[in-house]
Amino acid sequence: MDKQVIRIIKGDITEQEVEAIVNAANSSLLGGGGVDGAIHNAAGTKLLEECRTLNGCATGEAKITQGYDLPAKWVIHTVGPVWHGGNSDEDRMLARCYRNCLKLAAERGIKTIAFPSISTGAYHFPIQRAAEIAMNEVISFLNDRPVFDRIVFVCFNDDTFSSSNRVLNERIK
């Protein structure tokens, strides 16, 4: 795997010049706070209209919509797990989020994708643990299917940025 494919930045996912951005959505897919609210606000009302036709999304699954007013052509919505102390299958469900987003993007021929830190905001998943799961899933997927030109982790704050960088540097030497 070419380590130049994975990038970690601090910024706003709604401004990324990629083909698809990932929305850390709630199960209704009808908007909410954090990343979800920011994406819905930036994409405009047509995103909500399309999301209403999807009948929600289960934790760990992924669904795709158009990006509407976003720079990205597509939004891949995934529902991360709520942290309950680590004994409720949270790690496996978070891994499924990343895997299913990558699979859906690859099926659509998407070559560039941006991820937020799924479940680490309102769902309280520990940032370091989430970063490890995210990097493991992305690196594993790329090793099996090197179909992406660029995968960007867009971090909202310094803690997420430093944790993600630390984990990536440990995984790719």
Residues identified as active-site: 36
3 state SS of 74: strand
**β strands within the chain, DSSP E:** 6-10, 20-25, 62-66, 74-79, 112-115, 150-155
Q: Is 122 left (phi over 0), alpha (psi -120 to 50) or beta?
A: alpha
Phi, psi (degrees; rounded to nearest 5) at 157: -140, 175
Residue 82: burial class (beta carbons within 10 Å; 0-12, 13-18, 19+): middle
3 state SS of 144: helix
